[in-house]
Structure 1
Amino acid sequence: MELENMAQPSFILNQLKQNQQPVSKSQKLELDIKQSNRFSLPSSNQNIKAQNSYIYCIRYLSMSKRFKIEHLKDSNFVEAIQNIQNLNGRVKVMGTIFKIMKLKPYYFQQYTEIKIADSIQNEEICYLEDKSGRIKLEFTNCQLNLPNNTSKTIKVEDLITGIVVMIEGQIVGNNIVNVQCINLPDFIDPPIYKPLNQTTYVCLMSGLNYDLENNTTKLRHLIQYLQGNLYFGYGNEVSSNISLIIIAGNLYGKQRDAKSCLTGSIKQLQDFKQLYNQLQENIKGVDELLNELANIIPVAIMPGQNEPVSQMFPQSPLQRAHFGESFENNTKIKFLTNPSEFNLGNIHFVGTSGQNIQDIKKQQNIKDQQDIDLIEMNLFYGHLAPTLHDTLIQQQQFTNDPFIIEQLPNIYFVGNMKKFGTKRLSNNLRIISIPQFSESGIICLVNLSTFECFSFEIQ
């Protein structure tokens, strides 16, 4: 489970030299995306508005079944938090973590000047809740036991709201427990990885942040590389074997603030017209870019934070109306939800555009953690977006919690991270951190026949 350093060109060349036969474009394997409807809005339940407490209850009931049976048979185990009131000594109990942060950055405060670093303060208070009540948690040299049979020391600032845990500790006051140990739910084994019998790559990228006002040289070089007209030698053999491009969010660039345009002066009216024209040109430019990409390789697109769709999780696919030229000329573009779950052959993928990990960063001390470590912990929690209903807003049409990880994927990727990273957690599971292309020029390539993953920089 060590982090693999696959960003160096020497690594790429060595991997390409091993057991790889050049494949002509006519022999390129076509991959059919079979998308799950797990994160699609239920059309029959559009008028259902599930309460947050109901979703938390569903999450707790599902996750509580994953703890080891020996914990439940322990003489110190207490089934409900309210039963702790009349007890003394050591206890073990399950519940959902809830943090009270003095400067918690709620989603409706996203445009204020509160910084993420400012929201993590020593004044944080942590509770454990179930449907019967809550208890206050105190931490002194507390150990977090991970599903991979390792442990680490944690403090209250290392926890996040929404995760279901089992705590072990000493009752030190009225509804107050000093926690010595926290257990996470058991890991679910991913499906057996069944490699393709032909060298085939999937190209993962995110954060193209298309904006005509910025330099689009990297995007032009990307198209030339995918066409095989850039990076000769072994690099061309990779590009000729790429069967699918997946764009994990932020296809569009972030537009400048329009607040100053929403009043009636002549100057502000001109600013609004300029902003509208800029949006129109960027939408047209993205359409042309996708048309060029799809003429080379099929493309699948997930929405992100900058896209013109609802920002509530899960996000619906982008509207085809924005891509008139692309759909008029070809049918090799597929729109996915965010998060998205799909199969390529027998290989199971789950991916997000990064909002779930970015929101975890708002509540957690991440000074010494890489993005890839946060992605790994995300799987350990057993939930793709545990901070939903707290600092991340969710669609209310669901009567269940689709973000509970019922089955681990073979490949879990997260877009719009700071840097590239990958870990192979088992023979059947790999996680990938995808950086923003506009800043790094990096694309991630996954070999579906060998399960290897590396980055490639487009300059």
Structure 2
Amino acid sequence: MLFKVEPNFSEKVANDFLPVELERQTVDYVDSSKRFYQVSRDFSRQYAHIYSARLNEYRNVIIPIVRKKWSSHYKILKLCELREKNEKCIVIGTIFKLQELKPSILRELSEQLEIIPQPARTHFVHDNDSLVLEDELQRIKLIGDSIDVHQVVTGVVCAVLGSEDEDGVFTIEDVCWAGCNIQKPLPKLSNDRYIVLLSGLNMASKKADNLFSLHLLLEWLSGISGTSQYQEELSKIVRVIIAGGVFASHSDENILSESDVIASAEAADAFAAAVSSVAPLDLMPGCKDPSGIMLPQKPFHYCLFPKAIEYKSFHRVSNPYECDIAGFTCLGTSGEPIKDIMRYSNVNNALDAMRSTLKWRHMAPTCPDTVPCTPCVDTDPFIIQNCPAIYFSGNCEEFVTDVYKGDEGQYVRLVCLPDFSVSKTMAVVNLQNLECYSMKFS
């Protein structure tokens, strides 16, 4: 195991530090992000289409789950079909959260409204927040204790069991979420195989300690450290994934200018080329990187990495990103959807937000309401089609990991990746047993 310290390490002979030739271990790899690359980018269309596509796709998913949970005793109706008051039924729709503190362009026009500008907020939850359920034609207000208004966000599709009262308000008795999709059987590996996950390199930073940590990381990946036995373990690293924040991280409050990109592009290219020369590298953009801000973000332009693109092991990938590594489905984002869920709810840590997205079967429910995304027409690319074995989120506050276990035996390794430029920490996942560790370079 990569982090196992042998008790007799001090007794090792000097021969253990002699140079040895090792080959990097390889595994099968498939980029499964086609739906993110080929998403429609017709900006003449309205955003209502993505909600319609989301709801239509979820109906096919939720109806069998509803029948299994509540049998066929209750009718499944659309909102326009609610004619009998106090008749218990099932309605499938999209949750919309009415929030008093939600940013509004009208509030921003403080001079015209003669209002004193308020300090910028980072959390928009208020005690008076309420929920409505929408479908293609209309909406209805929801009340009841089955759904905690502060634990959900706009854009989540669900089925609710209840009835409409005389005031046109729907009282919920129970709720059914889409749930985590069925997971394909996890492969069984005979040997250790590692994936390195990190985020927030912040190459535009001028701080010496950041560059020092990056050099330590590069030497570690290259196997220029430890005994020959330890180097053999390092050769089992089969892939490196950098989840956004390459040029500027989320924690960096400065806005990246064109001159900053130009100044740091050479360093970012040199680092990517150095990593790609020793291991396969997948490079994702983030919200502050020189890539379109709308999700799904397209890969970095190749002209930013003239040296790195010479290596076949260098891959510019999308955000979100999904791939298959040795038969394990790996899915993740650079952290924008998870941060937004925490911003508009009382879900106060990234792990809980990630668990919720698996329960809702949607990695970015607040797109396009509060997270910018392209106006998709025919499909919603953010629906989690395949239950991942490894699910990561970049640019989190700290390194945290846990296992999500679904109702049908799903086993998902959750990984929150901290900002490397601040924490100097990255994550390593062992594909043999899906155990996860952190390593610090400082």
TM-score between both structures, scaled by the size of structure 2: 0.83
How far residue 240 of structure 1 moved from its aligned partner, in angstroms, is 3.0
2:137 corresponding residue in structure 1: 132
Change (3 A) 1:99 1:47: closer
2:36 corresponding residue in structure 1: 40
2:11 corresponding residue in structure 1: none
Partner SS, residue 181 of structure 1: strand
Change (3 A) 1:181 1:34: same
1:120 corresponding residue in structure 2: 125
The whole-number CA distance in structure 1 between the counterparts of 2:160 and 2:305 is 51
2:435 corresponding residue in structure 1: 452
2:319 corresponding residue in structure 1: 338
Show the 5 A alignment for 1:42-441. 42=38, 47=42, 49-65=44-60, 66=62, 67-70=65-68, 73-88=71-86, 90-105=88-103, 114-117=120-123, 119-139=124-144, 142-143=145-146, 155-215=148-208, 216-230=211-225, 236-253=231-248, 276-328=258-310, 330-367=311-348, 370-426=349-405, 428-441=411-424
Q: Choose which of 4, 11, 16 in structure 2 pairs with 1:13.
A: 4
Q: RMSD across aligned C-alpha pairs, in angstroms?
A: 3.2
Gapped runs of 5+ residues in structure 1? Answer: 1-9, 144-153, 260-274
Task: Say whether the 8 Å CA contact 1:71–1:77 is kept in structure 2.
Answer: no
How many pairs does the alignment contain? 412
Gapped runs of 5+ residues in structure 2? Answer: 9-15, 109-117
The whole-number CA distance in structure 1 between the counterparts of 2:366 and 2:66 is 24
Give the AA of the match of 1:54. Answer: H
Task: Say whether the 8 Å CA contact 1:105–1:116 is kept in structure 2.
Answer: no
Task: Say whether the 8 Å CA contact 2:90–2:160 is kept in structure 1.
Answer: yes
The whole-number CA distance in structure 1 between the counterparts of 2:242 and 2:104 is 28
Task: Say whether the 8 Å CA contact 1:39–1:339 is kept in structure 2.
Answer: no
The whole-number CA distance in structure 2 between the counterparts of 1:227 and 1:187 is 38
Deviations 1:174-216 (A, max 9, x none): 2212334322124322111113333221101111111241222
Partner SS, residue 366 of structure 1: coil
Task: Say whether the 8 Å CA contact 2:329–2:390 is kept in structure 1.
Answer: yes
The whole-number CA distance in structure 2 between the counterparts of 1:421 and 1:25 is 35
The whole-number CA distance in structure 1 between the counterparts of 2:133 and 2:41 is 32
Task: Say whether the 8 Å CA contact 2:91–2:159 is kept in structure 1.
Answer: yes
The whole-number CA distance in structure 1 between the counterparts of 2:105 and 2:361 is 23
The whole-number CA distance in structure 2 between the counterparts of 1:402 and 1:16 is 50
The whole-number CA distance in structure 1 between the counterparts of 2:77 and 2:356 is 26
Higher mean alpha-carbon deviation, 295-304 vs 175-184, is at: 175-184
Higher mean alpha-carbon deviation, 180-189 vs 70-79, is at: 70-79
Partner SS, residue 245 of structure 2: coil
Partner SS, residue 386 of structure 1: coil
Give the AA of the match of 1:135. Answer: I
Task: Say whether the 8 Å CA contact 1:55–1:399 is kept in structure 2.
Answer: yes
Partner SS, residue 188 of structure 2: coil
Partner SS, residue 26 of structure 1: coil
Partner SS, residue 165 of structure 1: strand
Higher mean alpha-carbon deviation, 100-109 vs 334-343, is at: 100-109
Task: Say whether the 8 Å CA contact 1:305–1:311 is kept in structure 2.
Answer: yes
Change (3 A) 1:205 1:245: same
Give the AA of the match of 1:197. Answer: S
The whole-number CA distance in structure 2 between the counterparts of 1:16 and 1:303 is 42
The whole-number CA distance in structure 2 between the counterparts of 1:441 and 1:106 is 37
Q: Once the two structures are aligned, what percentage of the paired residues are identical?
A: 25
Change (3 A) 1:183 1:115: same
Give the AA of the match of 1:99. Answer: K
How far residue 237 of structure 1 moved from its aligned partner, in angstroms, is 4.8
How far residue 336 of structure 1 moved from its aligned partner, in angstroms, is 0.7
Deviations 1:20-55 (A, max 9, x none): xx9x76343124532124333438x65575432222
Task: Say whether the 8 Å CA contact 1:105–1:114 is kept in structure 2.
Answer: no
Change (3 A) 1:339 1:398: farther
Partner SS, residue 116 of structure 1: coil
The whole-number CA distance in structure 2 between the counterparts of 1:240 and 1:366 is 39
Task: Say whether the 8 Å CA contact 1:39–1:340 is kept in structure 2.
Answer: no
The whole-number CA distance in structure 2 between the counterparts of 1:15 and 1:174 is 71
How far residue 248 of structure 1 moved from its aligned partner, in angstroms, is 0.7
Task: Say whether the 8 Å CA contact 1:49–1:397 is kept in structure 2.
Answer: no
Change (3 A) 1:116 1:15: farther
Give the AA of the match of 1:214. Answer: K
Give the AA of the match of 1:80. Answer: K
How far residue 389 of structure 1 moved from its aligned partner, in angstroms, is 1.8
Higher mean alpha-carbon deviation, 387-396 vs 175-184, is at: 175-184
The whole-number CA distance in structure 1 between the counterparts of 2:388 and 2:105 is 29
Partner SS, residue 48 of structure 2: helix
